[in-house]
Amino acid sequence: MNSIPLIKLKSIVLDCPDIQALSDFYIRMLGWEKDFVEEGDFLDIRSPSGGVKIAFQTNTDYVPPVWPEQAGAQQQMLHIDFTVQSKDDMERAVKHAISCGATKADTQYSDEWTVMIDPVGHPFCFVVD
């Protein structure tokens, strides 16, 4: 008998000062929809095709991470990789994300992925799948 219980990933949770504003950014960028709201402190969004959700949790003391990392500065806890089908799609995704409110990180380490920063400072990447 397997001693490891069935464990599934439900969501990635991002702390932020304003769950409505940050979730609206990701909804516009991804074409996802709101799925659950808990009394203004927690909200998640989901893809119409299902899968892992992105959740947003209010943190009034939120401090944006510095990317790339710098000693003594707030460090990123994680970043999210989003896949695209081609380098052309990556360029289109970057332009679309910028139009939704993201910024392209000044420092890029590879042409295989593009590092972006969401409106409150969380890094995320577009990667060709």
The model's pTM: 0.90
**Beta pairing class for 113-117 and 103-104:** antiparallel
3-35 confidence digits (pLDDT tens): 999 889 999 999 999 999 999 999 999 999 999
Q: Output the pLDDT for position 1.
A: 61
Q: Are residues 47 and 90 in the same domain?
A: no
The one-letter code for the residue type at 60 is T
Range of the domain at 14: 9-59
Find the Cα–Cα–Cα–Cα dihedral 108, 26, 122, 64, rounded to 10°. Answer: 140
Question: How many domains are there within the chain?
Answer: 2
43 within a domain of the structure (yes/no) = yes
Q: Are residues 95 and 129 in the same domain?
A: yes
Q: DSSP for 22-72, please give it.
A: HHHHHHHHH--EEEEEETTTEEEEE-TT-S-EEEEEE-TT--PPPSS--TT
Q: Output the pLDDT for position 77.
A: 78
